[in-house]
Amino acid sequence: MRGGGTKLGTIPNKDRPICLDLTHLLSRTGMVHTGVDRVEWAYLEWCLSLDRPVYAVVRSAFGYFLLDRTGMVFAHQHLKTADWGKTDLLSQFAFKLSPTRRAAEASLRKRAFARATPSRIGVMLRRSFPEGVAYLNTGHSNLSKRVFRAFSALKDAKTGVLIHDLIPLDWPDYQRAGTVATFEVHERNYSLVDAYGADEAFLTGTFGAQTPVGEIDGKLIGDGSRPVTARIRTLYKELVEVHTAQ
């Protein structure tokens, strides 16, 4: 799903490493991809196409681990096919996981360049990203205070979370227990002052897809380049073309 999209030279802080959360895709290994799966998959392929340091973080049954580009390429090769090989002794104690998930965690853990128990994730991140990192979570998994606190404590770190829709908030009566509370923790109303200072802004919905916002109350938003919005629109257009062609 790589397209022309945003060129590296137009991405702010192009030297900053990117750390993509792959926890959701790992939980779906070997299954038919849903819409959220395809979005995270597209971001994985986008990261691998970049000429800059890229990494992935994964929440496992026993903590967290980090993959470098080589590990991400291996994950990309096996996430859909789920041919992970045999599990290891440690993963056999992950009783709540499926055999496929156990094998996947065992295989990726061997290729991780850093690992940590839940309480040590902050230490792992500080050692791995001393100059900061851009953390991207596009799959709605691993959204926890522990993770956000660990990344936000890093020097010059940025965090981005992709919200796919607001149905859980618009129709709370039809959601599973706990779903609405999860969204409410990570969503808040923005003041006009917050909006005025945004680098980019866009509206999203089923009908309008992603509509860029150039100004609010006559005040220009950012410098007008909108590279992130452009990239999201490109990926969305390519996804629509793929599925309408089937």
The span from the CA of 29 to the CA of 110, in Å, is 17
Asked if the structure places residue 107 within a domain, the reply is: yes
Residue among 127, 25, 40, 124 at smallest CA distance from 78: 25
**94 and 111 share one domain:** yes
Q: Both ends of the chain: CA-CA distance in Å?
A: 15
Beta bridge partners of 210: 204
What's residue 13's pLDDT?
56
Map residue 58 onto helix, strand or coil.
strand
Same domain? 101 vs 213: no
User: Cβ distance 211 to 229 under 8 Å?
Assistant: no
Q: Are residues 147 and 238 in the same domain?
A: no
Q: Evaluate whether residue 129 is within a structural domain.
A: yes
Looking at the fold, whether 203 and 169 belong to one and the same domain comes out as no
- Are 130 and 246 contained in the same domain? no
32, pLDDT greater than 50: yes
Whether residue 213 sits in one domain with residue 145: no
Last residue in a domain, options 160, 188, 216: 188
Residue 114 sits in the same domain as residue 173? yes
Distance of CA 197 to the CA centre of its chain: 24
Shared domain check, 134 and 122: yes
Tell me the whole-structure pTM to 2 decimals: 0.64
Q: Over the stretch 145-191, which tens digit does the pLDDT of each residue have? A: 899 889 988 988 888 888 776 666 666 776 677 766 766 555 566 67
CA angle 86, 87, 88 (to 5 degrees): 125
10: DSSP letter: G
The reported pLDDT for the residue numbered 5 is 38
Please give the C-alpha separations between residue 34 and each of 45, 123, 159, in angstroms, as whole numbers: 16, 34, 24
pLDDT band, residue 88 (cuts 50/70/90): confident
Looking at the fold, whether 105 and 162 belong to one and the same domain comes out as yes
pLDDT score of 4 more than 50: no
Whether the per-residue pLDDT at 47 is higher than 90: the answer is: yes
Q: With pLDDT > 70 as the criterion, what percentage of the chain qualifies?
A: 80
**Whether residues 183 and 196 fall in one domain:** no
> How high is the pLDDT of residue 77?
92
For residue 3, being part of any structural domain is answered with: no
CA angle 30, 35, 39 (to 5 degrees): 90
Q: How many Cβ atoms are within 10 Å of 209's Cβ, its own excluded?
A: 14
User: How far from 194 is each of 3, 26, 187, 221, CA to CA, in Å?
Assistant: 32, 35, 14, 11
Residues 33 and 137 in one domain: yes
Residue 135: pLDDT over 80:
yes
195 and 206, same domain (yes or no) = yes
The domain total for the chain is 2
Res 12 pLDDT > 90? no
Task: Note down the domain range covering 144.
Answer: 14-188
Mean pLDDT of 95-123: 87
